[in-house]
């Protein structure tokens, strides 16, 4: 019996070196997914938003500049809060707690 054309083509294209590179790429992607967190997305979104708004609507008066600065500062505080909660969760997970983000129950749930 003749091998199927698709399988024969796959055997020609997929080499052991290619398989090794694909596995390394998969491990690199997994490491990237493990290191990215919500706070990183928040920071990127915040920077892009304020840069875009600053270019589209340049401040014409001092109050506009003040309001933009206050909003940026408040968004940055949200980022710091997210980052600190993620760091606490990572630390709790490293210490062996199974569910670090959930609060411990002190009363009975009905």
Question: Which tens digits make up the pLDDT trace of 6-54?
Answer: 666 666 677 888 888 989 999 999 998 888 889 999 999 999 999 999 9
Alpha helices (H) in 36-61, listed in sequence order = 38-56
- For 75, residues 6+ apart whose C-beta sits below 8 A from its C-beta are 42, 46, 50
pLDDT of residue 25: 92
pLDDT of residue 73: 97
- The pTM assigned to this predicted structure is 0.64
List the end-to-end C-alpha distance of the chain, in Å, as a whole number. Answer: 68
pLDDT tens digits along 62-108: 999 999 999 999 999 999 999 999 999 888 888 886 555 555 555 55
Backbone angles phi, psi at 82, to 5 degrees: -60, -45
> Tokens 């992607």 identify what position?
29
């Amino acid at each position: 019996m003749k091998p199927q054309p698709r399988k024969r083509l796959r055997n020609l294209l997929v080499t052991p070196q290619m398989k090794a590179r694909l596995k390394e790429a998969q491990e690199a992607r997994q490491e990237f997914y493990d290191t990215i967190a919500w706070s990183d997305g928040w920071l990127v979104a915040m920077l892009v938003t304020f840069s875009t708004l600053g270019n589209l609507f340049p401040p014409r008066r001092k109050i506009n500049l003040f309001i933009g600065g206050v909003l940026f500062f408040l968004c940055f505080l949200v980022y710091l809060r997210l980052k600190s909660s993620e760091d606490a969760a990572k630390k709790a997970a490293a210490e062996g707690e199974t569910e670090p983000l959930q609060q411990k129950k002190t009363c009975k749930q009905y």
